[in-house]
């Protein structure tokens, strides 16, 4: 899916614009409180929200602290305290409560929870810490426009200029509505990457980033057709999106954003072969995009191309082993699905265990569930085999 999370732009002390993730939404509570205490805490929280909305930070803090004295595990109250202290400019105290939210939510943590930590660290000019939190957010929401924009800025802030280019290019693919904001940052990141590579003696790499700096620096306006295609995709008019995207690709077959959106639209339409074909073209242009390579593996398994999926997953893990287990976790997950598809539950279990052990915030919980599923399938297969041997 393309990004749908609530985001807004706010200034960061980098003379750059970062997109701050908002933590609004329905009240969800994890607590060990007794029912009566929970009712009391929720009533108090409802009134605290009025103070938060009015930016009456001191009153909000007093009310929210009374809640966590009753229910220390009340997630929304802890998040509200982070928001209130952030509003007051007490960023260190805000971090304390935002971190508690992450700890409390565990496997249910969301990108916005890491984003709250990231934007607060950035206010303290702790850009390495901020970058680390946005990298976690990206694992959960790889197409979230706010996450991508912030991460691109923060990669550059700590000197990871080639990564900054990579993230901004991806954000340009999936967030064409932000093109006017992304392009200046992308051109700047490419120039910094060029200078960095030249200083390190990597002349060919420097030439590559110079070409990107010129390319993105010269671009203006937007790709109207692509923006229309994204609008149709987001409104679930997948057939209409496909028509526009095919028109684009006829003129520019290497438009990675169009290829990626086409693959997703065809998948939504149930056109698995066409989706796989588009994914393959996209992956040829961006072979190190593990999240979308894994998405292609999923579609291949759905289409019954399980042996091909196993081969591709094995080659990917071997080629990109140096990137670490967490980045490869989505590939391991669908590698496991491919083995399940072919009836090799033992090997599938091993792949799901690898995925779970990587600690990926999006895939770890599902992988643990799949490990148990493989045990169940193996037990069922053993029972059926025994029953058949007994003539039952």
Residue with tokens 């796989």: 276
**Per-residue pLDDT tens for 370-383?**
999 999 999 999 99
**Residues 129, 2 share a domain:** yes
Query: What are the distances in angstroms from CA 318 to CA 144, 313, 321, 358?
Result: 29, 9, 5, 16
For residue 150, the domain's CATH number is 1.25.40.10
Q: For residues 361 and 363, give the distance between their C-alpha atoms in angstroms, rounded to a whole number.
A: 6
Domain that holds residue 17: 1-154
**Per-residue pLDDT tens for 252-269?**
999 999 999 999 999 999
When divided into structural domains, the chain yields a total of 4
pTM: 0.79
**Residues 279, 321 share a domain:** no
Do residues 144 and 157 make contact, with C-beta atoms less than 8 angstroms apart? no
Do residues 95 and 120 make contact, with C-beta atoms less than 8 angstroms apart? yes
**80 part of a folded domain:** yes
**What is the signed CA dihedral for 1, 133, 83, 157, rounded to 10 degrees?**
-100
Q: Which tokens is 46 given?
A: 């409802």
**Residues 164, 30 share a domain:** no
How high does pLDDT run on average in the chain? 89
Q: For residues 209 and 204, give the distance between their C-alpha atoms in angstroms, rounded to a whole number.
A: 9
Higher pLDDT, 39 or 347: 347
Q: For residues 93 and 167, give the distance between their C-alpha atoms in angstroms, rounded to a whole number.
A: 30
Domain boundary among 187, 205, 220: 220
**169 part of a folded domain:** yes
Q: For residues 141 and 115, give the distance between their C-alpha atoms in angstroms, rounded to a whole number.
A: 11
pLDDT at 22 over 50: no
**294 part of a folded domain:** no
């Amino acid at each position: 899916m393309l990004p749908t999370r609530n985001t807004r732009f706010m200034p960061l002390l980098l003379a750059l614009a970062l997109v701050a993730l908002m933590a609004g939404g329905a009240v969800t509570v994890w607590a060990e409180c007794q029912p009566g205490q929970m009712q009391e805490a929720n009533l108090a929280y409802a009134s605290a929200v009025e103070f938060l909305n009015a930016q009456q930070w001191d009153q909000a803090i007093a009310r929210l602290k009374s809640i966590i004295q009753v229910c220390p595990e009340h997630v929304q109250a802890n998040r509200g305290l982070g928001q209130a202290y952030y509003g007051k400019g007490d960023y260190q105290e805000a971090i304390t409560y935002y971190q508690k939210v992450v700890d409390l939510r565990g496997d249910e943590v969301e990108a916005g929870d890491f984003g709250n930590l990231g934007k607060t660290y950035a206010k303290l000019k702790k850009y390495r810490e901020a970058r680390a939190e946005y990298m976690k957010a990206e694992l959960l929401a790889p197409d979230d426009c706010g996450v991508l924009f912030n991460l691109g800025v923060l990669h550059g802030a700590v000197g990871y200029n080639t990564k900054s280019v990579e993230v901004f290019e991806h954000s340009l693919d999936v967030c064409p509505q932000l093109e006017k904001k992304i392009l200046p940052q992308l051109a700047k990141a490419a120039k910094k990457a060029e200078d960095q590579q030249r200083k390190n003696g990597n002349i060919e790499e420097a030439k590559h980033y110079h070409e990107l700096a010129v390319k993105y620096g010269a671009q203006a306006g937007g790709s109207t057709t692509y923006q229309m295609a994204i609008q149709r995709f987001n409104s679930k008019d997948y057939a209409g999106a496909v028509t526009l995207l095919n028109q684009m690709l006829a003129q520019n077959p290497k438009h990675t954003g169009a290829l990626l959106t086409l693959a997703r639209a065809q998948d939504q339409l149930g056109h698995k072969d066409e989706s796989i074909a588009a994914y393959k073209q996209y992956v040829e242009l961006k072979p190190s995009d593990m999240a979308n390579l894994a998405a292609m593996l999923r579609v291949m398994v759905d289409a019954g191309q399980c042996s091909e999926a196993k081969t591709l997953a094995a080659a990917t893990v071997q080629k990109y082993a140096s990137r670490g287990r967490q980045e490869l976790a989505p590939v391991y997950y669908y590698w496991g699905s491919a083995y399940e598809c072919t009836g090799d539950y033992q090997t599938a279990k091993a792949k799901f265990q690898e995925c779970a052990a990587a600690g990926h915030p999006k895939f770890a919980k599902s992988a643990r569930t799949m490990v148990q599923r493989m045990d169940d399938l193996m037990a069922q297969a053993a029972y059926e085999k025994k029953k058949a041997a007994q003539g039952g």
